[in-house]
Structure 1
Amino acid sequence: MKTKEFKQEIAGMGLHLSKMRGGCGEKYYEVYVGGVMSARVSREIPGRVITLPALLDLTPPLRRQLLGIMLDYTETPIDDREEHRWNVIIGLTQGAIDYCQLYAKYPNNEVLWVDTTINDQACLASSKYVFTDEEFDRLISRLKQSPDGDRLAKIAELGKVPAPEVGE
């Protein structure tokens, strides 16, 4: 289960989720029932769920649903929980201000083009420059259909780098 799905399912139950870090540095989510913490779900250790007495405030069917969601999430390998986000950088220009040339897309991912932007975290995190794994695979397929497509696809694969996260 992806983190995004986990958050949506918790919110769909009318519960609140907070992203936290423990005293020893462990990252986890806290699940709140009626404003009271009822469980902790590790973001780093597979299978770790800690339940607290407030969980009993839920009706048995809701409690089973919540436990099922938390277990599904913790059974998902850590690397598979997050949607990977990529920039596809195909050129760099260094000077007084550093620029990069990279693939960009409209939100519907139908039109792709090469764009130039300032080489900084905020610009590179823009949704028009960020590709998910699925979108990257579509980009490669579309590049291979163009003249000299194998070469263009290879350049894109070499330029695939993790996109910066904003606000993390």
Structure 2
Amino acid sequence: TFATAVALASSLKERGIDSRIKWPNDILIQERKVAGILMEVSADRNRTAIIVVGVGINVNTSIEAFPPSLRDSVTSLSLNIGRPLSRIRVFQDFLTHFEFWYEVLISERFEDILRAWRGFSSTLGTRVNVTLQEGIISGLAEGIDSQGALLLRDDEGRQHRIIAGDVIHCRPSS
């Protein structure tokens, strides 16, 4: 999902839209979710890996089309630029960037992807709450490791390596 997130954030940047990546796979504009990425991995009979990536982008969704409970946390591209966009053009732009980052991925240059991901990150350097099966861990998101795991320093100074979990960015107190 890291290469896909970088591809989407890059394609939006090219359109002049400042988006950020929330670890590991949400795309935000002004802290509101505009897109999400899901990935499923399985294997066929020959143990060949099969990877399916799904990308959902709120392109021309009006604020009224979102459920009232989500309106404070979501947005669409058109809401941010003030006019409707061609879904086909958004998809074409994304695919152009995806092709580039896919080539980087299959060339095993994962560190290049992580470097770009870090540049778009809204999570790193912020206080977060991470919901895991074992409970909630709060702390500072210090980085991501070479495999994409979130490195979180809790309030007792212990570092945690988070592979999967629901991350909530803590808002700074005013």
TM-score, normalised by the number of residues in structure 1: 0.32
Structure with the largest fraction of helix: 1
Query: Where is the strand percentage greater, Structure 1 or Structure 2?
Result: 2
Structure with more contact order per residue of length (Cα contacts < 8 Å, sep ≥ 6): 2
